[in-house]
Chains A and B, each alone.
Chain A
Amino acid sequence: MKNRFVLILVVVLALVGTLPVVGAQDGPFRVAAVAPSATNDLAFSQSMYDALLAIQEEMGADNFEFVFQEGTFVVDDAAVAIGEWAASGEYDLIIAHGSQYGSVVEEIAPRFPEISFAWGTDVNTFGLDNVYAYTPAADEGGFINGVMAGLMTESGVIGVIGPIEVGDAKLYVDGFKEGVAASNPDAQVLVTYIQSFSDVPLATEAANAHIANGADILTGTAQMVVGPIAVAKENGARWFGTQSSQAELAGEAGVMFQVYHWEVVLRDIIANIKDGKMGGESYVLTLQNGGLVMESAK
């Protein structure tokens, strides 16, 4: 009888002891993310939003929850959101999806060592143990697009519409130029940086200028490419894209798209955090690790 009581007591204590642990493991992994443009921009912000949705699908909605604050181009607004999320203590990971948010992460992260932060596109973790950094090797897909564009062009003129000459935009454009040079050294690649990620009217006229100067192939990066894509369609030119697939919008003009799959990075980061490693590592999306995928037009 006594032995049975002791056995029951041990079992009960063991169950009680394990319950909180089981509860913590079963609780959803919670992520908050801020991005500069809309989740349907067919570009940078959408690539992260789609990745979070993919992770949610893999882990199940009960195990993975996220909030996404889009259209936050103003860095101060992002700082407020990141600060509030961190102070609330409700999130396991806070993602600042935009290279302009770097200084905010650098400032806020040290105050919340128990929370993990991730930001990109960059490789700098600021020497902080709770900051991850991520960036795409956008020049890889840029090179492939460039090789194909060089082989396809009949006029020998290819137009590029870029936003600002930094980050993955610069990587993509530089890779694209090298690709064209590799497959068709005689082709001309003309690049216009419009100094804006969002100015669709200006990007559209930049594309028109390339067409007027003989371009039969266009490419570009950032969310303002919706204008140039429409120009390509209207003028029978072909379009190469990056960041997200723009196949649906580009229709017959579309050829090839380099698509960012941030879920490759997110999977690792989430696993690390669950193992107690809060940061201090930077990731690069590549074609080899599956973070960059080339998708052809439909």
Chain B
Amino acid sequence: MIEQILTASVFASMIRLATPYIFAGIGETFGQRSGVLNLGVDGIMLMGAFFSFYTVYATGSLVLGLLAALLIGLLLGLTTAFISVTLKAEQGISGIGMYLFGLGMSELLFQKLIGTPKSVSGFPRLYIPVLSDIQFLGIGEIFFNHNLLVYLAFFLVPVSAFVLNRTTFGLMIRAVGQNPEAADAMGINVARVRYMTVTLGGLFSGLAGASLSIALLNVFQQNLTSGLGFIAVALVYFGRWKPFGVLAGALLFSFVNALQLQVSAIGLDIPSEFAVMAPYVITIIALVFASKQTEKPTALTKPFERGE
């Protein structure tokens, strides 16, 4: 029974499901570590998903599609930074505003420019000689049978951890998030650091959207993300503001999701309501046990006023 449930395809599904959470969660981690909460992640993802999809649909170029997602992510990240850092708006409310903008605008553009759901040829699965063929424990299927954006998401985790923990830029981000007044006194430009992290978060959210529309699903539809960006924000808390923590949360959530899909796909008689609830329940339980607040950036959601 266990072999029937825990197949290699379940773990491969976990990796695919986790990809957009990792992109969006890592991006959000940068912003939150510098003290800025961006609740608009889902809206930026939707815009990234639409623009990359439309570009691939219109030009057939995956590279241009990816660039389109990065560009819109950059613009909306900058806009979020302008609202949160320069205008010092209440971050929760302005984030919801950005979400609603992305939700509505992506739908409007979709209706006007495409009209009806269509599919595109997205990033193909990469065959990696030798590695993709490893049969042992299904390693080839689980880890080496994915498209480029899946690998990019997982690659960004150690890179982001390194940047945050081992570089001067990372130190500045953490200083600005923990004690902006002290950071300012040390000569760090708080606003500039926050602009950079929030814009980076926008870029990653754009990529998260593209990973859905031109790599994993290869379609676009109204509200394609279905609130996935909000779960990514929750995973940042779950991961205690650490890239590897976000990765662990994304994998756990996606694993339970893949598992519940497998349980119904092999015909086990478990009520689907319970199965669908499971990822959320387990994530909440894990969150309760992992809820040490010590790592939380103390300046999170607090706009910086010089000389306060």
Q: Interface on A for B, CB 8 Å cutoff?
A: 37-38, 40-42, 71, 159, 165, 188, 190-196, 198-202, 204-206, 208-210, 212-213, 223-224, 226-227, 229-230, 233-234, 248-249
Contact = CB atoms under 8 A, between A and B. Distances in A.
A41 B216 CA distance: 19
B9 A201 contact: no
Interface residues of B, number: 38
Contact of A213 (B218, B225, B266): B266
Given A165-B272, A201-B17, A205-B258, A233 B119 contact: yes
Given A209-B261, A249-B118, 7 more contacts: A40-B222, A192-B265, A193-B264, A200-B217, A200-B219, A201-B217, A209-B13
Q: Which 9 residue pairs of A and B lie closest in terms of their CB atoms, listed nearest first?
A: A212-B9, A209-B265, A193-B272, A195-B276, A192-B264, A199-B226, A38-B222, A209-B261, A226-B117
B114 to A, nearest CB: 9
B221 A209 contact: no
B223 interface: yes
A223 B216 CA distance: 18
A195 B226 CA distance: 12
A224 B221 CA distance: 8
B116 A40 contact: yes
A263 to B, nearest CB: 20
B79 interface: no
Contacts of A209: 9-10, 13, 258, 261-262, 264-265
Nearest to B111: A40
B226 A198 contact: yes
A259 to B, nearest CB: 15
B115 interface: yes
Nearest to B223: A198
B265 A210 contact: yes
B37 interface: no
Given A196-B226, A208-B13, A230 B119 contact: yes
Interface string B181-214: 0000000000000000000000000000000100
Given A193-B264, A213-B266, A201 B226 contact: yes
A41 B265 contact: no
Nearest to A37: B222
A88 to B, nearest CB: 24
B262 A71 contact: no
B273 A195 contact: yes
Interface in B111-151: 111, 115-119
Interface in B259-304: 261-262, 264-267, 272-273, 276
